Structure 1
Amino acid sequence: MLRVMACGVLVVGLSGCFRTSVRTGAPREGLPETRTEVSLFFGLTTPHVAASECRHGVSRVDVFSPWWGALVTVTTLGLVMPLRTEYVCAEMPRSVSPEQQVPATLAPL
């Protein structure tokens, strides 16, 4: 029984972390927005970050696995992995006219 518990602790403890950050250097406008989505089938499908409410693009984007994500990933044998996306919209540059704004219909990458 002690070996089973030790293996369980190792699996949860060694599952690793996931974090991706993008900084554009644009000045921030407003507070960070947060979304929680899932990646399916061992990361074969991932959530798309489409911040359509950001008319001037994004200032920063962070995608990471929450603290409880390792438990969900291990429990579902890797089929479901929760991911949290945090982003901050960029403010309108002073030298850009309103016609040069990012269109709302821009497709995610």
Structure 2
Amino acid sequence: MRARPIVLVVFLLQGCAYHRLAVRNPNPADQYYHSVNSTAFGWGAAEEQKVADKCETSLLSEVRVRTSLGRSLITVLTLGAVQPARIEYRCSKMPTQEGTIEP
């Protein structure tokens, strides 16, 4: 009986897990994240390719992959056969001048 309130509180306080990849010197063109829902089937064997179509320059400044308790439960209950995630990205500005890339 005491476990019910604890489970309810844990369920209501669920959070999201983030994986973030950013470039060293970001040059964001916009301050908003554009999101795409992605689902991999068959342990990653079949996944529809998603395109970052909001970027005019085809350059990305930052990429985040989010998952939540519900998405994680789907992955666990299907033993990894279905893996939903939300991908968020920010576009970069077009470089203004030519230069060299330092390693």
Category of TM-score, reference length = shorter chain = 0.5 to 0.7
Q: How many residues get paired?
A: 80
Query: Does residue 59 of structure 1 match 2:97?
Result: no
CA distance in 1, matches of 2:45, 2:17: 15
1:1-109 → structure 2 map (5 Å cutoff): 20-24=19-23, 25-30=25-30, 31-56=32-57, 57-95=59-97
Query: Residue by residue, what CA displacement relative to the aligned partner does 1:22-53 show, whole Å, maximum 9, x if unpaired?
Result: 21233112210111110111233345342133
- Percent of residue pairs bearing the same amino acid type: 26
Q: Which amino acid aligns with 2:28?
A: R
Alignment TM-score, normalising by the size of structure 2: 0.60
Q: Is the 8 A contact 2:29 2:92 kept in 1?
A: yes
Query: Residue by residue, what CA displacement relative to the aligned partner does 1:29-86 show, whole Å, maximum 9, x if unpaired?
Result: 2210111110111233345342133122010111232332111112323221111101
Q: Which amino acid aligns with 2:70?
A: W
| Unaligned runs of at least 5 residues, structure 2 | 1-15, 99-103
| Unaligned runs of at least 5 residues, structure 1 | 1-16, 97-109
Q: Is the 8 A contact 2:38 2:50 kept in 1?
A: no
CA distance in 1, matches of 2:50, 2:26: 18
| Residues 1:22 and 1:46: Cα distance change in structure 2 (over 3 Å) | farther
